[in-house]
């Protein structure tokens, strides 16, 4: 689910924030290289036992740096009372300057009960971020006008709209690539070649790869 913040959502955010204790450790992933800069905070992970934050960091290390550049936070609210599992929020935080404004982007995860559900939800919301901030205009147009209209969506939820279709396909590519390939080879090829620009199997992304991000508390 992609959510753009408005006044109503500010209230929801304040209510959800109460579930994060003041002394909860904040884990930070950081990287500076020619490929990009990443300064990503992981919050709320010490309050749950669903996933190990080090394993989450390892998974994120398997992603292209460009897919994380500009993402500010991943917040886990294990006690939040929400119907949705997760959300991607883009929040305006600076004054309008010319035709652009600065923004804060974060992913929020709520009351997830299994490791599989966590990684699917996280990758789904990352998919929203990548489509929103990283895809070129021509690639977005191709997805919306050509690929989304094809049969073979990876889930019923992917039929909601082109954005959810992309997010579900992105998550499936990372979590269960064979399922995406069998559902629709065209979607699989687009994610692999246009989004990841990779010839490797996604299952091997995190293996035999030099660590790009430093995890600190």
Tell me, what's the pLDDT at 16? 38
More confident position, 2 or 67:
67
pLDDT range class, residue 88, cuts 50, 70, 90: confident
pTM for the whole structure = 0.77
Is residue 70 within 8 Å of residue 106, measured between CB atoms?
Answer: no
pLDDT range class, residue 92, cuts 50, 70, 90: low
% of the chain beyond a pLDDT of 70: 70
CA distances to 11, 15, 22, 126 from 70, rounded to whole Å, are 24, 25, 25, 12
Give whichever of 1-15, 39-53, 201-215 has the largest mean pLDDT.
39-53
Q: What is the mean pLDDT of residues 119-127?
A: 93
pLDDT range class, residue 208, cuts 50, 70, 90: very low
Tell me, what's the pLDDT at 58? 84
**Torsion angle, CA of 81/86/110/13, rounded to 10 degrees?**
-60
């Amino acid at each position: 689910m992609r959510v753009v913040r408005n006044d109503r959502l500010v209230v929801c955010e304040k209510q959800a924030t109460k579930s994060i204790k003041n002394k909860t450790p904040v884990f930070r992933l950081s990287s500076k290289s020619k490929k990009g800069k990443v300064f990503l905070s992981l919050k709320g992970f010490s309050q749950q036992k669903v996933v190990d934050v080090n394993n989450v960091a390892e998974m994120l290390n398997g992603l292209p740096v460009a897919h994380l550049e500009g993402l500010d936070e991943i917040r886990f609210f294990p006690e939040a009372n929400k119907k949705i599992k997760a959300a991607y929020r883009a929040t305006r935080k600076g004054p309008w300057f010319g035709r652009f404004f600065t923004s804060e982007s974060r992913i929020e995860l709520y009351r997830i009960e299994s490791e599989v559900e966590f990684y699917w939800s996280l990758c789904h919301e990352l998919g929203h971020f990548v489509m929103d901030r990283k895809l070129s205009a021509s690639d977005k147009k191709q997805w919306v006008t050509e690929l989304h209209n094809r049969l073979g969506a990876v889930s019923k939820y992917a039929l909601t709209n082109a954005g959810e279709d992309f997010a579900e396909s992105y998550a499936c590519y990372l979590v269960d690539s064979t399922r995406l390939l069998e559902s629709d080879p065209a979607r699989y090829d687009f994610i692999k070649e246009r989004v990841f620009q990779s010839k490797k199997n996604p299952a091997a992304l995190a293996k035999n790869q030099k660590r790009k991000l430093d995890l600190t508390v």
